[in-house]
Amino acid sequence: MDASGDTLVLDDDRIDALFGALADRTRRDILRRVLLGEQSVSTLAARYDMSFAAVQKHVAVLERAGLVVKRRRGKEQLTTGQIDAVRSTASLLAELEVVWRDRVARIEDLLASESQ
């Protein structure tokens, strides 16, 4: 849902960006951390065995997907998680689950009718 309470419609490019960003475990971990509270990219970089530039690139992928927002405070780049984007992803997965459960139910019905 957006700020007005309307359901967000995700286009295929946005869905690809969301799932592409979430496909990497480091990005998922960064997202978890910034959903708990705003963190600087420097603070995030200190938590990983990789360069500051590599962490910055991970944050940029999350930002392009709309999962985080960066802002400057002096020399720091502060990153905040966007819960609405996470909810959109969860909503999409719930829709896919409904489709999957419906197919399983139809298979079960078919098998039950054949065994009678």
Residue-wise pLDDT tens digits, 55-105:
999 999 999 999 999 999 999 999 999 999 999 888 888 888 888 888 888
Strand partners, 80: 69
Q: Evaluate whether 51 touches 41 at the Cβ level (below 8 Å).
A: no
The total number of structural domains in the chain stands at 1
Count of CB atoms situated within 10 Å of the CB of 38: 16
Flag whether 85 is in a domain. Answer: yes
- DSSP-derived secondary structure letter, 28: H
H or E segment to which residue 68 belongs:
strand 68-73
- At residue 56, the pLDDT reads 96
Flag whether 4 is in a domain. Answer: no
Domain span at residue 56? 12-114
- At residue 8, the pLDDT reads 53
Rounded to 10 degrees, the C-alpha dihedral 68/70/71/75 comes to 140
The mean pLDDT value of the chain amounts to 88
- At residue 7, the pLDDT reads 47
- At residue 1, the pLDDT reads 43
Does residue 5 register a pLDDT over 70? no
Flag whether 1 is in a domain. Answer: no
Does residue 111 register a pLDDT over 90? no
Flag whether 43 is in a domain. Answer: yes
Q: What CATH number corresponds to the domain at position 110?
A: 1.10.10.10
- At residue 9, the pLDDT reads 60
CA torsion sign, 80 to 24 to 21 to 88? negative
Flag whether 3 is in a domain. Answer: no
The stretch 23-47 carries a mean pLDDT of 97
